[in-house]
């Protein structure tokens, strides 16, 4: 394989590993090039363009060593949940490669979103790709693809990006009004990630039975198979505390 011409789009950016010249290729003997390890990272990021991967300002400083997570780790009702999440982060590469995810459920204000954002933040910092949406915003984003202009962001291209990122993070699952269209969208998305072994992290206030009523038993069945379920119960930590 010959060296890539300078018009190669990667050339404009420095190699994040400081190995290649920014092209994504390393030139060897006789002008033969081999791919740099940064190339796959950049290709993954390219495939994720157009999805929301931004940690909201409230959660950008979240850490195991700072409140509210450090306080949760000392709470008898919540410390096991923090341990599950810490294990996921510690074994991130293995979990993502095998398509294992997390299902955080329980009472309002117990820290489900905080822990989910901690995971997404760690995955992004590791150079992996994440799509982060509350369920209502995700469905609104899908609806907008129906109105896209020719050559714009089509439903199929957006769906492909949602199913190809390393981690799909959906907050408040079950918060949208039930309809046949909602059931169809959620099943298609979760089933595709189930079949391709792509990780999902979800948060929900609903127990199994109510969640099945809201999003369908087929979707819940897939989530049960690919996610480790983590329960968070206790008082609403938003009253008097940051959660």
Range of lowest pLDDT (4-8, 77-81, 211-215, 229-233): 4-8
Under the banding of pLDDT at 50, 70 and 90, the label for residue 148 is: low
Over the stretch 165-179, which tens digit does the pLDDT of each residue have? 999 999 999 988 899
- At the second CATH level, the architecture of 48-232 is 3-Layer(aba) Sandwich (3.40)
Question: How is the chain split into domains, by residue range?
Answer: 9-43, 48-232
Over the stretch 32-48, which tens digit does the pLDDT of each residue have? 666 666 656 655 555 54
What does the H/E/C string look like for the chain? CECCCCCCHHHHCCCCCCCCCCCCEEECHHHEEEECCHHHHHHHHHHCCCCCCCCCHHHCCCCCCCCCHHHHCCCCCCHHHHHHHHHHHHCHHHHHHHCCEEEEEECCCCCHHHHHHHHHHHHHHCCCCEEEEEHHHHHHHHHHHCCCCCCCCCHHHHHHHHHHCCEEEEECCCCCCCCHHHHHHHHHHHHHHHHCCCEEEEEECCCHHHHHHHHCHHHHHHHHHHEEEEEECCCCCCCCCCC
pLDDT at 40: 61
Is the pLDDT score of 232 beyond 70?
Answer: yes
pLDDT at 239: 55
pLDDT at 43: 54
């Amino acid at each position: 394989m010959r060296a890539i011409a300078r018009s190669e789009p990667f050339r404009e950016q420095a190699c994040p590993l400081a190995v290649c010249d920014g092209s994504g290729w390393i030139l060897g003997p006789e002008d033969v090039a081999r791919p740099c390890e940064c190339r796959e990272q950049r290709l993954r990021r390219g495939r994720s363009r157009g999805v929301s991967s931004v940690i909201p300002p409230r959660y950008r400083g979240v850490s195991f060593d700072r409140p509210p997570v450090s306080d949760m780790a000392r709470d008898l009702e919540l410390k096991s949940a923090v341990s599950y999440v810490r294990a996921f982060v510690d074994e991130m590469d293995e979990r993502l490669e095998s398509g294992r995810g997390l299902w955080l459920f329980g009472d309002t204000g117990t820290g489900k979103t905080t822990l989910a954002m901690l995971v997404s933040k760690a995955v992004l910092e590791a150079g992996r790709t994440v799509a982060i949406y509350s369920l209502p915003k995700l469905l609104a984003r899908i609806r907008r693809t129906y109105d896209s202009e020719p050559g714009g962001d089509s439903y199929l291209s957006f769906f492909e990006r949602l199913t190809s990122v390393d981690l799909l993070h959906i907050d408040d699952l079950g918060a949208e009004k039930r309809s046949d269209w909602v059931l169809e969208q959620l099943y298609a998305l979760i089933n595709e990630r189930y079949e391709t072994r792509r990780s999902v992290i979800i948060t929900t206030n609903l127990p199994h039975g109510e969640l099945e009523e809201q999003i369908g038993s087929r979707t819940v069945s897939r989530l049960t198979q690919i996610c480790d379920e983590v329960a968070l119960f206790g008082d609403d930590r938003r009253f008097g505390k940051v959660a």
